[in-house]
Amino acid sequence: MLRNSYRSLTPDQYMQFEKLLQQSLLWRGFYFLSLLFVNIVVSRYLQADGSGYMYFITTIFSLILLVASLNLETGFTFYASSQTIQSHKLAFLGIVWSLVTTLLVIPVLKAGFAYKGIAGEDTGRFIVYGILYIGGIILSTYFCVLYYAQKDFLTPNVCLGALNFLLVGLVLWEGKQQASTSSVTYSYFVFFTLQGIVLALLYFIQHRRIAAILLPDWREMRLLLRYSLLALLTNVIFFFVYRVDYWFVYQYRTAAELGNYIQASKLGQMLLVIPQVMASAVLPQTASNTLTEEVRRSLVIIFRLLIQFFLFLAVIVAVVGKWVFPLILGNTFNQVYIPFLILLPGVLSLSILSLLSAYFGGKGRMKINLAGACIALLIAIAGDIMLVPLYGIPAAAFISTVAYTANMFFSLWHFKKSYAFTIKEMITFSRADWQWVIKVAFNK
């Protein structure tokens, strides 16, 4: 049945999506590898309690960032890929909104850190961290998606990855100089702003033929905001799905437990690298409404591959994880093993969900993503209230896994309506799947 749907495609068209996956995997993989090195060196230097608190504060920044950005990057991807709004208009809008947002969040940060004295005597320093983080992330995110919409994965990821490796070198040097933890933390946040500025400058240097400064007109802004705000609502809800456990662990458990749990969660996020890389190729392709059947067929193959990978990984972690995590991260991270093992099925669900969400986003069916996120949030809040105070970080990991899995099955059910396949197909492994991987990876 699928073979007949490709008869009208040329060989070049047939390979287009797979080539896009290949480029995305290669260059975004390089960027996420650099993030892994940053996480390791910073965590070893700050240890469990220090890094846990820093990452918890960063979570607060991320929530403010999510709301302040209006999730415009999703609209940028959709309308730049479909060529409904010219990319250079979106680029100038990204500059303007990054500046406006950075100014607007200053009073929010002041009020937020003053509330219950979250930052204590360090309020001024943490406000600076927030400005550096939020302004830099917004800028780099906007320009990354503009590059992706043009199917350029090399330029932004090499740029960001190189800067991350530069940060790794700086932190190692500061460690040899016995720099204070506040100095290392400041370097960590400065690099977010540096990445955003460098990426924006690089984009305009490469597109210097732009004749005039133009912003989207009112009609284009309405389209952009309508799409982005619905995506924003979904992402805010899913932000809490993904982070609400941090607040319960912060409230009811020790600082060391918080650091260990957040580290387990961050390691899980690292496993989302490849699915998110692929999702960055899925959304522009579906938004441009080309090779839809090829995308659907490829997604089912990827689902099978992800299941095989996570089964293999779970066995490895169960055998060696108890001593490997403290060896890599430091002795204070001796409680990462159990939560991470419990989170693995949930991370598998998130991996599949990230691809499904990109597919529905590219099709303009954001309400499916929104409904699934609402279901997951209700499960996460109810479960954390009941179990985290009594059973600690293993319970937080278990509830998160249940919530992620419920969301994944909801989206998978809707995907099945548009592409007929059986659950048996998702768990029937074959050599052909890995041959497909080789073809994508090596362009064969």
Count of other CB atoms within 10 angstroms of residue 5: 13
Measured distance CA(43)–CA(58) in Å, rounded: 14
pLDDT, tens digit (0-9, with 9 covering 90-100), for 146-157: 888 887 888 999
CA dist., res. 70 & res. 226, Å (int):
10
How far is 117 from 228, CA to CA, in rounded Å? 33
Query: How many domains does the chain divide into?
Result: 1
Rg of the Cα atoms in the chain: 22
Measured between alpha carbons, how far apart are the two ends of the chain, in Å?
A: 24
pLDDT value of position 16: 60
Q: With contact defined as beta carbons under 8 Å apart, do 21 and 440 qualify?
A: yes
Residue appearing with tokens 């080539």: 19
d(CA 359, CA 353): 10
Q: Which letter, b or e, does each residue of 37-48 get, where b requires 16 or more Cβ atoms within 10 Å of its Cβ?
A: bbbebbbbbbbb
Per residue of the chain (444 residues), give pLDDT as tens. Answer: 333 333 344 445 445 656 666 777 778 778 888 988 888 888 888 777 777 777 777 878 888 888 888 888 878 877 887 778 888 888 889 899 989 888 888 888 877 666 555 555 567 778 888 899 998 999 998 998 888 888 788 899 999 999 999 999 998 898 888 777 778 888 889 999 999 999 999 998 888 766 567 888 888 888 888 888 887 888 888 888 888 898 899 888 888 888 899 889 888 887 887 777 676 666 555 655 555 566 677 777 788 888 888 999 999 999 988 888 888 888 888 888 999 999 999 999 999 998 888 888 777 777 888 899 999 999 999 999 999 999 999 999 999 999 999 999 999 888 888 766 666 777 777 777 777 666 666 655
| pLDDT for the residue numbered 51 | 73
Question: What pLDDT, on the 0 to 100 scale, is given for residue 209?
Answer: 65
**Do 212 and 88 touch, CB atoms closer than 8 A?**
no
Contact 274, 29 (CB under 8 A): yes
Q: 151 is in which domain, residue-wise?
A: 2-442
